[in-house]
């Protein structure tokens, strides 16, 4: 790999937040565009880093290439994880860095982190149906669909997130 995965640093919060929001916006993953409340959460890396673990991929020159938020089932940022599970979310890779294995490396880092935690037996995630590239990465790494755990973050809208699970 010609990049490093590590914990995000405060001086990288803004760059990672903008990268994440831009990736979601450009790929059409924010239903309400720039005004989507989720865009504000994507940009708030300082909050995520204070309440969960945020991993970042950085190039050899220090350029932020992507990032992901990791938490356990008891964490503030868990959407579907139960107490014996870990979860990751907000996986994003800069458009210019795609095709280099950054996304897969970030997911692998989450798998390693989950395996290192006592009492954690599964790693879970939620994804949009249109995130096909990510689905292929998850499948390659052994995640399986868990349709019984699919959910609607906005019950008033017809928008369902798909659940994936990896047994550790």
| pLDDT over 70 percentage in the chain | 100
Q: pLDDT tens digit string along 44-99?
A: 999 999 999 999 999 999 999 999 999 999 899 999 999 999 999 999 999 999 99
pLDDT number for residue 31: 74
* pLDDT over 90 at 148, yes or no: yes
| The CATH classification of domain 3-167, taken from the options 3.40.630.10, 2.40.30.10, 3.40.630.30, 3.30.470.10 | 3.40.630.30
- Mean pLDDT lowest among 51-60, 76-85, 117-126, 148-157: 148-157
pLDDT number for residue 88: 98
* pLDDT over 90 at 166, yes or no: yes
pLDDT number for residue 89: 97
Give the residue among 106, 105, 122, 125 at the shortest CA–CA distance from 114: 122
pLDDT number for residue 21: 96
Question: Where are the domains positioned within the chain?
Answer: 3-167
Give the residue among 136, 130, 63 at the shortest CA–CA distance from 99: 136
The tokens describing 38, both together, are 């989720």
Ramachandran bin of 163, using left for φ above 0, alpha for ψ from -120 to 50, beta for the remaining angles: beta
């Amino acid at each position: 790999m010609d990049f490093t995965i590590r914990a995000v640093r405060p001086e990288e919060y803004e760059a990672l937040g903008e990268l994440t929001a831009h990736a979601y916006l450009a790929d059409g993953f924010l239903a309400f565009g720039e005004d989507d409340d989720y865009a504000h959460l994507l940009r708030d890396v300082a909050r995520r880093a204070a309440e969960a673990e945020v991993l970042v991929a950085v190039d050899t020159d220090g350029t932020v290439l992507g990032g992901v938020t990791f938490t356990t089932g008891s964490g503030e940022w868990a959407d579907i994880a139960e107490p014996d599970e870990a979860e990751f979310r907000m996986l994003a890779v800069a458009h210019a860095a795609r095709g280099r294995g950054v996304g897969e490396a970030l997911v692998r880092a989450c798998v390693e982190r989950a395996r290192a935690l006592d009492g954690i037996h599964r790693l879970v995630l939620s994804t949009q149906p249109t995130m096909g590239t990510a689905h292929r990465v998850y499948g390659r790494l052994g995640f399986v669909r868990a349709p019984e755990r699919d959910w609607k973050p906005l019950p008033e809208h017809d928008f369902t997130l798909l659940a994936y699970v990896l047994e550790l």
